A = this chain, B = another copy of it.
Amino acid sequence: MVGKTIGTRLIELGYEVKMGSRTNNNDKALEWVKANDKKATTGTFEDAAKFGDIIFNCTKGEITLEVFKQAGVEHFKQKTVIDISNPLDFSQGMPPFLSPQYVNTNSLGEEIQKLLPEANVVKSLNIVNCEVMVNAAKSGGEPTMFISGNSVNAKEEVKAILGQFGWKDIIDLGDISTARGTEMMLPIWLRTYMATGNGYIAFKIIR
């Protein structure tokens, strides 16, 4: 759902998008291609990795690293990887906690960067639902978005896309280790969602 929402918005903005899946004949991916114009294509994770200059990681955190390995880590060299995933563990029910190996003194963003040392991983967007990701105003206001990454150029690329998604207040937190901060916002997002029943909440840094 996240991949489809982001892919559709990117197509609307004029980008060519290849949706990667485990197989090259995934039903939902083919349906998405059909619903969009010829800029939308589909293929395996490897096909998508080879195709893209900019890659969105929209996989569930629990399988993210496995998917990157399946796609072939050699296909991400010098590319910008926008990581919007969260290492959520639903094994104990709602609300999920964060996977203990990726929290507090580590993060999934850092682990992806370690797995893809020649890629430029940028963590962003993981703190809102996918409709708000591609349309910040859908939150009901003008929220803040954070970016974390080691490459200044890649972060500029991501900032430009965030701007196209309607994000006007963007804070560059620094290197990819600052993804620890944004991944650890999931517990408050989840509990605020559970307390208010509103899944379109977003965060504004008042300053």
Contact = CB atoms under 8 A, between A and B. Distances in A.
Nearest to A180: B187
A201 to B, nearest CB: 5
B181 A191 contact: yes
Provide the main secondary structure of the chain A interface: mixed
Interface stretch (A31-39, A45-53, A108-116, A171-179): A171-179
Interface residues of A, number: 39
Contact of A171 (B105, B171, B196): B196
Copies, count: 2
A190 to B, nearest CB: 7
Nearest to A127: B188
A34 to B, nearest CB: 35
A179 B207 CA distance: 24
A100 interface: yes
- 6 closest Cβ contacts across the A-B interface? A141-B206, A181-B188, A204-B204, A181-B191, A181-B187, A184-B184
